[in-house]
Chains A and B, each alone.
Chain A
Amino acid sequence: MNIIEARGLGKRYRGTWALRDCTFALPAGSVTALVGHNGAGKSTLLNLLTGLIEPTEGTATVLAGEPAGSPAALDAVGYVAQEAPLYQNLTVGETLRVIASLNRRWDQRRAEARLAELGIPLSRRVRRMSGGQQAQLALTLALARRPRLLILDEPLAMLDPLARFDFMDTVMSAASQDGLSVILSSHVLAELERVTDHLILLSRGRLQVAGNVRTLLAGHRVYTGPAGQAAELAGRLPVVHVRGDGDRARVLVASGEEAGEPPDGWRREAASLEEMVLGYLREPGAAAYPAPEEVTI
């Protein structure tokens, strides 16, 4: 079962395509990192998945075929928008009651337990809370709805490093306990490597990389060797990106062990997620989408 499916998905704003030709699928239970430069179309993609905006072309479905934004989709998709918008004039307790009243499914005990754990009293005004606490409250609201898919737009931006760790911890334990699927966009690659099993990389509104992280990493290697021979290497192997390091070059290659023995003078090693992502971010023309499992498009 695919928790998210996008087919030819595109969104145009006043003549400019914010997102185009997006086709991918993510299996249920996956934790997906959505990365890309500012303006690459990350928020547009997430807004399309929540149904906040309508696609200009193509379709987006969630929860095995429910159109994004349909009643069934809204009922089981939790969303924390960028900068975690909340009603600043309400208290935490009132916020819980307001959001509970807007939903069919609500787990008050879970929400209260989590807030107690975080040391956030129900009587506190939202506007008196720090950005980090507001982000935690927004996540609490989304999780109390017992969603099957959680969509997080830049959830870590407002958090300090320790809070980032705690935040991701909550997300991950919810994902493992409830079989929740998660998709989150972020600039912070380091925190993502620890938790994600799928990756979507957008560049200038187009899908550049999509797939299972393990499969992607198995299909990529970093070659280290003489910078002068980098061009020659590119003739033999599918090179994504060459990074000069004095007379040495680090070359990201979109090919795994099946490429055979490395040429003379070159050393081959596994690519880290961060190095692979950075390599693609620097080469917007390159693309890789190994077919993810269970894609039935």
Chain B
Amino acid sequence: MTAMTAPAAGAAASRARPVPWRTLAWVSWRQHRLALGAVAALLAGVCAWMLVSGLQMRSALASFGLDSCTPLTASSCTTQETVFINDYYPGAQVVIGVLTVLPVLTGALTGGPMVARELETGTFRLAWTQGCGRTRWLLARLVLAGVLLAAGAAAVSAVFSWYYQPMLRLGQDSPLAPQVFDLRGVVFAGWTLAAFAIGVCAGALIRRTIPAVVTAAAAWSALLALAVFWLRSHYQAALTGVGLVNPASGTGQGTPWILTQWWIQPGGAPASQAEIAALSSRLRQAGGLPTPQAVQQWFAEQGYLKYYTYQPAGRFWHFQLIEGGWLLALSVLLGAATIWLIRRRAA
């Protein structure tokens, strides 16, 4: 009789008191602390770099008098602005370049090996036959690494927002423009999390570490390209404008994200590129005009109007939430898919 009741009692106890998340989190940390530590060091280095050059940029801004120059469209301001941009914009582009690859570098390199290495070395036979079960085992490390990576990315993103503020204030880029949009707000953490989730899922599918990391990097880049070149401009219907390309420049509202632009000739038909080029060269031969506004004015006098479709800069947070939302949903979905995968096909 005791032989019959003992297993039932043991089973009930194991259901009531599973292995605590705290100890599972410790195991996850112990096994991934090297990767997570390397990521933390990399992110800290990038932040330090942005802080130093951000401070340099601000002192230059002050010495050029650009921090107090109003309005920024005044010709005395634009001259100084041109010098400042020439000096600091290329450096900022390098920072942007590094930050653009940071999500895939940190996310895919942490996520790719997470399941793949266990499958590759056979240690999944050890790990997945312990009392906690493989679902809790994977969930603990997905959540721990995912949260740490997203938090690190959010910190980098916050430092970048501060760093790049002068360029945005000068209207150099639209906050919605590709690359700048990706690196600010919640979206940077979203792309990092997505790279991690794609890496983990690729690892469970491909079962080899290096092919999984490479595949994840390729898939992530394709997804980013899709979002930047197609998806993002459709989050909300674009507006159509006529006249100045940069109506909000220097007003503090932020430059809009121009999607397409074209010229209309006096009759109302679209003007060809050759036509506009001919007019421009005539204008240059006549001695040129000092500001883009004046050029626009001159074209208007000839009966030529510039039309464009654009997303106003004020939609920044709306777009951030849409993109951050779907990236988070995608990451959770990929995490769930990975759990489903490892529950199905282990050996």
A71 at the interface (CB under 8 A from B): yes
B270 CB–A CB distance under 8 Å: no
Tell me if A79 counts as interface (CB < 8 A to partner B): yes
From 117 to 167 in chain B, residues with beta carbon under 8 angstroms from any chain A beta carbon are 121-133, 137
B281 interface hit (Cβ, 8 Å)? no
Contact of A74 among B17, B126, B130 (CB under 8 A): B130
B23 within 8 Å of A (CB atoms) = yes
User: Contact size class for A?
Assistant: 35 or more
- A67-87 interface bits toward B, Cβ cutoff 8 Å, 1 = contact, 0 = none: 000011011110101110111
B14 lies within 8 A of chain A by Cβ: yes
- A residues in contact with B137, CB < 8 Å: 102
Type the 1/0 row for A3-25, where 1 means its CB is closer than 8 Å to any CB of B.
Answer: 00000000000000000000000
The smallest beta-carbon distance between A145 and chain B, in angstroms, is: 7
* A85 lies within 8 A of B7 (CB): no
B26 at the interface (CB under 8 A from A): yes
Check A75 against B121 for contact (C-beta < 8 Å).
no
- B321 contacts A by Cβ under 8 Å: no
Instruction: Determine the interface band of chain B, counting residues with CB < 8 A from chain A.
Output: 20 to 34
Knowing A52-B346, A101-B24, the reply to whether A71 touches B14 (Cβ < 8 A) is yes
Q: Which of B19-62 contact A (CB under 8 A)?
A: 19, 23-24, 26-27, 30-31
Contact present for A103 and B10 (CB under 8 Å):
no
Most chain A beta carbons < 10 A, residue from B11, B17, B121: B11
Chain A residue at minimum C-beta to C-beta distance from B127: A102
Residue of A nearest to B122 (CB): A85
Please tell me if the beta carbons of B130 and A103 are within 8 angstroms of each other in the complex: yes
Taking a contact as CB atoms under 8 Å apart, the answer to whether B132 and A102 are in contact is yes
Q: Is A197 an interface residue (CB 8 A)?
A: no
**Given the interface contacts A64-B7, A94-B30, A104-B14, does A81 sit within 8 Å of B126 by beta carbon?**
yes
Q: Does A99 contact B (CB under 8 A)?
A: yes
Q: Whose C-beta in chain B lies nearest to the C-beta of A72?
A: B11
When chains A and B are docked, how far (Å) is the Cα of A28 from the Cα of B19?
A: 26
B126 touches A86 (CB 8 A): yes
* A-side contacts of B24, CB under 8 Å: 101-102
A54 lies within 8 A of chain B by Cβ: yes
Cβ of B4 under 8 Å from chain A: yes
Complex interface: chain B residues within 8 A of A145 (CB): 130-131
Which of B126, B129, B346 has a CB less than 8 Å from the CB of A77?
Answer: B129
Whether B234 sits at the interface, judged by CB under 8 Å, is no
In A78-123, the 8 Å CB interface with B consists of: 79, 81-83, 85-88, 94, 97-99, 101-105
Which single residue of chain A is at the shortest CB-CB distance from B4? A1
B274: Cβ under 8 A from any A Cβ = no
Q: Which residue on chain B has the smallest CB distance to residue A105? A: B131
Contact A75 to B344, CB < 8 A, known contacts A81-B125, A86-B126, A102-B24: no
Can you list, as one digit per residue, whether each of B89-127 has a CB less than 8 Å from chain A (1) or not (0)? 000000000000000000000000000000001111111
- B246 to A: closest C-beta gap in Å: 56
Whether the Cβ atoms of A79 and B10 lie closer than 8 Å is no
Top 7 closest pairs, chain A to chain B, by CB: A72-B11, A81-B125, A102-B130, A101-B23, A103-B131, A85-B122, A75-B14
A63-B10, A74-B133, A97-B30 given; 8 more Cβ-contact pairs under 8 Å: A1-B3, A1-B4, A52-B128, A53-B346, A101-B24, A101-B27, A104-B14, A104-B19
Please list 25 pairs of residues, one from A and one from B, whose beta carbons are closer than 8 Å in the complex, sorted by A's number: A28-B3, A43-B347, A47-B347, A52-B125, A52-B347, A53-B347, A63-B11, A64-B4, A64-B7, A71-B18, A71-B131, A72-B11, A72-B15, A74-B131, A74-B132, A76-B14, A79-B129, A85-B122, A99-B130, A101-B23, A101-B26, A102-B127, A102-B131, A102-B132, A138-B126
B residues lining the A interface (CB < 8 Å) = 3-4, 7, 10-11, 14-15, 17-19, 23-24, 26-27, 30-31, 121-133, 137, 344-347
Interface residues of A (CB under 8 A from B): 1, 28, 43, 47, 50-54, 63-66, 71-72, 74-77, 79, 81-83, 85-88, 94, 97-99, 101-105, 138, 141, 145, 148
